[in-house]
Amino acid sequence: MSNALDRLDELLVVRTVEALSEAENSELSKLLTAHPEIDPDAYDRTGAAIHAAYVELEPMPAHLHDRISRSAAELFDLQPDELAARRRKRSTRSRVTPYLPWLATAAAMVLVLITWWPNTAPQIDADIDSLRAALIAGGATRLDWTATADPAAPSASGDVVWDAQRQQGFMRFSMLAANEPTVFQYQLWIFDAERDERYPVDGGVFDIPANTGEFIVPIQAKLPIGDAVLFAVTVEQPGGVVVSDRERIVLLAELG
């Protein structure tokens, strides 16, 4: 990565969390003119998303910070000492907020992932339970699943957590039958009191791996949810459907 692109990256990241000086704005304009392939708005969108996701949570855990840093170093072909030097350099700026060092790395990671895999669902990892717990601690709604008589869910249990303000949530499953993705997939439907009940919002298609105990899946609502009153998991064809015939409903969670 060239020095010019390094500097452009730094200015765009800093701009997401603070105002640039007149000289910095002038420098940024010249760099953007020289590099039209860079989308400056992508940095702002990424910064806003990260801010919304983490601003009210505890600081990023050290082990997660280190893992993201290592991944960023690999993606940008940086040696660990080079990445650390860049973070130290940025942390010396007197106006930078405390979370900028890891925001820079996280923003870079998110930008690369958006560019490379725009249609890929978020990957589940060990830290997802912490994010779910944080939503619950912040007052998110938690509803227990009720299993139906469908053969995929005779002993299934768990819950769904939904934060209406953040438009984020997670599904937790235990003993839900594993699926073969080429045969069928599970799909979440969110019934919104502000929408026609015939057309619930698609909450994402997902799989349950074999030989798993408790399993947590992020909710991926395709539309904003105004007033969620019912969550339903159905069995659908691979890739999911736009409108479910609701022939196989395996789990339900109803508010009230």
Task: List the 146-147 sheet strands across, edge first.
Answer: 146-147, 249-254, 228-236, 185-192, 201-206
Task: Detail the DSSP E strand segments found in 27-148.
Answer: 141-144, 146-147
Token pair, residue 91, equals 């942390």
What pLDDT does residue 9 have? Answer: 79
Q: How far apart are CA 182 and CA 151, in angstroms?
A: 18
φ/ψ (deg, to 5) at 4: -65, -45
pLDDT reading at 18 higher than 90: no
Q: Of 144, 170, 142, give the one whose Cα is nearest residue 158.
A: 144
Please state whether the predicted TM-score (pTM) of the whole model is above 0.85: no
pLDDT reading at 53 higher than 90: no
Pairwise pLDDT comparison (45 vs 203), residue with the higher score:
203
What pLDDT does residue 23 have? Answer: 86
Name the residue ranges covered by the structural domains of the chain: 3-116, 128-254
SS3 content of the chain, % helix, strand, coil (to 5): 35, 20, 40
Average of per-residue pLDDT across 172-196: 96
Lowest mean pLDDT among 22-26, 202-206, 222-226, 230-234: 22-26
What pLDDT does residue 34 have? Answer: 84
Average of per-residue pLDDT across 152-176: 95
What pLDDT does residue 209 have? Answer: 94
Average of per-residue pLDDT across 117-132: 59
Q: Of 58, 67, 59, 63, give the one whose Cα is nearest residue 105.
A: 67
Pairwise pLDDT comparison (116 vs 62), residue with the higher score:
62
Lowest mean pLDDT among 34-43, 192-201, 244-253: 34-43
Q: Of 221, 226, 231, 223, give the one whose Cα is nearest residue 256.
A: 231
Q: Which amino acid, 6?
A: D
